[in-house]
Amino acid sequence: METLSFIRRTFCAMIMGGAKKVTTATKDKSAGTKDTKKGKKDKGEGGPKKAEITVMVNEQQAMKILQSSKVITVHDMARQLGVKVSAANKFLKNSVQNGSVKVVGGFSGHFLYQSNSS
């Protein structure tokens, strides 16, 4: 009778997927890692703060590039000026609002710009 209950328990554990027993070595490892976390920093800790980076576009050089080319994209402008795409995009959008540059084509944020004087 006792062997039948042992077989039944073993069979049920295999089918039902019973819980594994935790070994003493695993218990010791988990107890040690709860106290100290290596390599993780608290978000509230101080440290070197990031400096704000400002990139200035030389307007004379940018207008010279615009007037020398038929049309220009933001990426072309950034590459020729040696600045970030975001800085070139900001310059071109401000120039469109000022009226010195016009949008002549493009779609979905990829516009073609042309100087108004040409």
Cβ-defined contacts of 48-57 (< 8 Å, 24+):
55/83, 55/84, 55/87, 56/87, 57/81, 57/83, 57/87, 57/88, 57/90, 57/91
Give the mean pLDDT of 49-74. 81
For position 26, what pLDDT does the model report?
77
Q: Is the dihedral of CA 81, 86, 92, 98 positive or negative?
A: negative
Give the mean pLDDT of 42-60. 67
Q: In 3-state terms, what secondary structure has residue 27?
A: helix
Tell me, yes or no, whether 25 lies in a domain: no
Tell me, yes or no, whether 101 lies in a domain: yes
Tell me, yes or no, whether 30 lies in a domain: no
What is the residue range of 82's domain? Answer: 59-115
| CATH code: domain of residue 70 | 1.10.10.10
Give the mean pLDDT of 94-117. 90
Top-confidence residue, 36 or 24: 24
Question: End-to-end CA distance of the chain, in Å?
Answer: 101
Tell me, yes or no, whether 52 lies in a domain: no
Q: Which helix (H) or strand (E) holds 6?
A: helix 2-16
Number of domains in the chain: 1
Top-confidence residue, 57 or 1: 57
Cβ contacts of 70 within 8 Å, gap of 6 or more: 114, 118
What is the value of pTM for the model shown? Answer: 0.53
DSSP class of residue 72 equals B
Q: Please, which pLDDT band fits residue 109 given cuts at 50, 70 and 90?
A: confident
